[in-house]
A and B are shown apart, each in its own frame.
Chain A
Amino acid sequence: MDKVFKALADPGRRLLLDRLYATNGQTLGQLCEGMDMTRQAVAKHLAVLEEANLVVVLWHGREKLHYLNPVPIHEIAERWIGKFERGRLRVLAELKKRLQGETDG
């Protein structure tokens, strides 16, 4: 999970993920279009994303296509966001119980 957070810590890489979310399965050339970065920089960012399993590369004929892999983000949601959300719900449930207890008494 360290690799995922490190990969997500860069705005350029997040932008690449957003662009794959909008249009999945792009070549390096397509991803370079409109990016304020050199081709080498984009390739380097994609390698970091691939290493973190956030991006998956598939060869389609002679084209190397990049796909967004939803797994690590889903795991973050489960492991981090879900956990804190559950905590918040528990607090609310306890509050409700206490308030109801007061009216009962």
Chain B
Amino acid sequence: MAESRFVYVTYIRTTPEKLWRALLDPEFTRRYWCETHQESEWKPGASWRIMAPDGTVCDSGEIIEIEPHRRLVLTWRNEFRPELRPEGYSRLTYELEPQGNAVKLTLIHEIDKPDSKLIQAVSGGWPAILASLKSLLETGESLEATRRWPAGGCKK
């Protein structure tokens, strides 16, 4: 295998518009993504970064593709873990597809190198964050493990 890839598919009872907003809007991400928020102009070529509440830049990259309520592709490099940063840029893709009264969310996080430590690290973080996102949208409450920074669910 010349690449490492993490794949996650979940069905969330919500609308593509609400899910899209929850993925981008700081007001939402702070609640299920360990108090972090993203900064970007959200257009192709724009820079993108994810910030911890203390101002640390956790990850950064660039928007590659953006199709509101449907698809978002961005590059992603870890900025705060010395063992992960040298791996360089990975690629994150979100795909949203309406299915009945739910939205199928597919998340693919990949990098063009085998046995990536970054992909291994995010494989541990994403399930907690995305389960919390689902819980927030469906019940109005995120999961406790992902509400604070730094947290067990956010080791990335």
Contact = CB atoms under 8 A, between A and B. Distances in A.
Interface of A: 23-25, 53, 56, 58, 67-71, 74, 78
Interface of B: 1, 3, 5-11, 106, 108, 123, 127, 130-131
Leading 5 A-B pairs by shortest Cβ distance: A67-B7, A71-B10, A56-B7, A56-B9, A69-B9
B10 A58 contact: no
Contacts of A67: 5, 7
Contact of B9 (A23, A24, A53, A78): A53
Given A25-B1, A56-B9, A70 B127 contact: yes
A56 B127 contact: no
Report which residue of A58, A68, A70 has the largest number of chain B beta carbons within 10 angstroms of its beta carbon. Answer: A70
B47 to A, nearest CB: 28
B42 to A, nearest CB: 25
B5 A78 contact: no
A71 B7 contact: no
19 contacts: A24-B7, A25-B1, A25-B3, A25-B5, A53-B11, A56-B7, A58-B5, A58-B7, A58-B108, A67-B5, A68-B7, A69-B7, A69-B8, A70-B8, A70-B127, A71-B130, A71-B131, A74-B131, A78-B131
A68 B123 CA distance: 11
A79 to B, nearest CB: 11
A16 B3 CA distance: 21
B73 to A, nearest CB: 14
A68 B9 CA distance: 10
Contact of B106 (A24, A56, A70): A56
B115 to A, nearest CB: 10
A93 to B, nearest CB: 18
Contacts of B10: 71
